[in-house]
Amino acid sequence: MTAPSPKLDPLNTAVLTIACPDRGGIVAAVSQFLFSHGANIIHSDQHSTDPAGGTFFMRMEFHLEGLDLAREPFERAFAQVVAVPFGMDWRLSYTAQPKRMAILVSRYDHCFLDLLWRIRRGELNVDIPLVLSNHEDLRRDAEMFGLPFHVVPVTRENKAEAEAEQVRLLREAGVEFAVLARYMQILSGDFLRAFARPVINIHHSFLPAFVGANPYRAAFARGVKLIGATSHYVTEELDAGPIIAQDVIPVTHRETPDTLMRLGRDVERQVLARAVKAHVEDRVLVQGNKTVVF
Ligand SMILES: Nc1nc2c(c(=O)[nH]1)N[C@@H](CN(C=O)c1ccc(C(=O)N[C@@H](CCC(=O)O)C(=O)O)cc1)CN2
């Protein structure tokens, strides 16, 4: 009669993500290394863009209970034994450390409140050190959830100074990534380079259709039979970053731009939440302007 395995804490896991030139033996080398150090693998996903010489992507989640090394020596050993020989770009994240996520908002509340509700329900393993906005409208909502709310007004004239203040607040708070929850200002390249961390946006159309600020009006004018939403990483080029999640819903000739906006709100919320969850769980790997989402 074997003793039952000790109850494993679902929060005591780590996620290893890897990208490297494809070749034989990668999965064997990684799993052998983890096994040899007492790690109990619970999820493993991999994708090769071209087994004949493309890029190999992998995501492995494992329990830490049986690990024979502390984190730093474990990571050093992995680098020496596996990562360097295989030329890996890799990252280890620990489920017990919630990612620090900032939310940027303007006046729309649906994506913002949806994220806060999901965090309250325990669906997203994040901490929110601050909310940034260019308007006062959502202050009470943020404070109802006990979140610091900073307003930095943005105009064409003060954009550089405003963005510098935004970056200062984000860096000071140790933010690891930011989410634009219908934040309606275009982030400059200077902002993105200074913040130098992932920014996730929700665009209210099924990209690449209808980029820009008013996609529902453009969709109405085009007479579309589907509207959608796209969540993507933000790049300097507007609405052109690597896509993380998308979805669509059917519409008919009876809709108006306003009813399209109302119908669109539900799909925007769901797509953004799906994208944020994938990012938080280290399921998204980026290659160029595309993603692999495990
Ligand atoms: N560098 C980027 N910044 C932003 C992106 C992006 O992809 N790259 N996405 C936008 C969100 N967005 C569409 O989804 C969007 C928001 C705002 C505008 C726009 O033209 N804004 C005007 C000001 C409008 C206002 O003051 O109400 C502007 O910035 O001049 C276009 C698209 C978020 N940022």
- ipTM of the complex model: 0.93
> 22 near 287, Cβ under 8 Å?
no
Rounded CA gap, 164 and 176, in Å?
Answer: 17
Residues 6 or more apart from 109 whose CB is under 8 A from it?
137, 138, 141
Closest CA to 202 of 181, 177, 226, 188: 181
Is the C-beta atom of 45 inside 6 A of ligand 1? no
Output DSSP code: residue 83: I
Across 94-119, average pLDDT:
97
Q: Is 282 a catalytic residue?
A: no
User: What is the signed CA dihedral for 34, 35, 38, 44, rounded to 10 degrees?
Assistant: 60
Predicted local confidence at residue 8, as pLDDT: 73
> 16 near 82, Cβ under 8 Å?
no
The pTM for the full model equals 0.95
CB atoms within 10 A of CB 240: 16
Token digits of residue 183: 């934040």
Predicted local confidence at residue 51, as pLDDT: 76
Rounded CA gap, 264 and 266, in Å?
Answer: 5
Is the C-beta atom of 211 inside 6 A of ligand 1? no
DSSP alpha helix (H) spans, 128-255: 139-144, 159-172, 189-195, 215-222
Token digits of residue 90: 């890799």
pLDDT of 174 higher than 90: yes
Q: Compute the distance from residue 193 Cα to the ligand 1 centre, in Å.
A: 17
- Name the one residue in this structure whose structure tokens are 């595309």: 290
The CA–CA distances, whole Å, from 246 to 167, 192, 221 equal 28, 23, 22
If you average pLDDT over every residue of the chain, what do you get? 96
Predicted local confidence at residue 118, as pLDDT: 98
Is the C-beta atom of 239 inside 6 A of ligand 1? yes
Predicted local confidence at residue 172, as pLDDT: 98
CB atoms within 10 A of CB 141: 16
Nearest residue by C-alpha to atom 8 in ligand 1: 238
- Rg of the chain over CA atoms, in angstroms? 21
The pLDDT tens digits for 108-162 are 999 999 999 999 999 999 999 999 999 999 999 999 999 999 999 999 999 999 9
Token digits of residue 170: 């984000």
Across 230-241, average pLDDT:
97
Q: Compute the distance from residue 185 Cα to the ligand 1 centre, in Å.
A: 4
Report the DSSP pairing between strands 290-293 and 149-151.
Answer: unpaired
Query: Which DSSP helix (H) or strand (E) runs through 290?
Result: strand 290-293
Across 44-68, average pLDDT:
93
Rounded CA gap, 155 and 141, in Å?
Answer: 24
Token digits of residue 35: 């096994």
Q: Compute the distance from residue 253 Cα to the ligand 1 centre, in Å.
A: 28
Percent of the chain predicted with pLDDT > 90:
94
